Homo-oligomer: A and B are copies of this chain.
Amino acid sequence: MTVTTGVRARLYVDQALDAGRSVDLSANQSHYLKHVLRLGPGAEVALFNGKDGEWRARIETIRRNAGSLGVETQIRPQITEPDLWLLFAPIKRARLDMLVQKAVELGVSRLVPVLTERTEVKRLNADRHRSNLIEAAEQCERMTLPEIVEPRPILDVLSDFPTGRRLLVCAERGHAAPINQILEDDTGEADRCAILCGPEGGFAETELDAFQKLSFIRFVSLGPRILRAETAAISAVTCWQAALGDWRRRPPDRDST
């Protein structure tokens, strides 16, 4: 019942983690540890790379733009996280940043930007989103980085959609069943899922008609109010995680580490 943590900083690295290895810090990481957290040699840092679990490391050397950590012991083994994709139409910058951050916190495994007829934002700044993803994953104590792919037209994405993956389409208008009802009915085939949220103006008729021909799609309803695009995405991912995802697990207990 305490929030005290054994380690103050938690960083994603793309290097292998194992006892006795030395890991290099990027310029940003060095700056963050030295000047934001004011840590020096000997201070503890938690590391994860999405593959080797979470490790306790200790600062060996640290300068303004570089540094190194010595990897000591594993805190947590790598775990398998839910396989949930989020397909979303890019929206304006502040809302999109928020959507990406929340998707990471809520455990989305792959972010798939899709272009629809009414999508007004056509491009993503890959570097900014990658920084955003990393920061959110570090903060929420997640063990992986979700993947983010290049934007593609929605009908292209659906035309080569993988076999065996269910797609829940959040639909404000037309026939749709309450999301929890769909999730309750769907437990047998829930291993791999995707959620699709449209742009602010909703989907076009032609898009909805195309969706209806696809057997892997279910239309889900998120209640009587018109949700903004990012709210719909956050809410739908929440419902899936709570019903079928990993929400029966608890955050790691850092008191015992």
Contact = CB atoms under 8 A, between A and B. Distances in A.
Nearest to A222: B247
Interface stretch (A41-49, A85-93, A100-108, A153-161): A100-108
A224 to B, nearest CB: 4
A221 B140 CA distance: 14
A66 interface: no
A226 interface: yes
Copies of this chain = 2
Nearest to A209: B1
A119 interface: no
Interface residues of A, number: 50
A78 interface: no
A228 interface: yes
Contacts of A181: 248
Contacts of A149: none
A68 interface: no
A55 to B, nearest CB: 18
B227 A173 contact: no
Contact of A238 (B174, B226, B239): B239
B238 A224 contact: no
The 8 A-B pairs with the shortest beta carbon distances in the complex, nearest first, are A223-B247, A224-B249, A1-B174, A3-B202, A140-B225, A235-B238, A238-B238, A180-B242
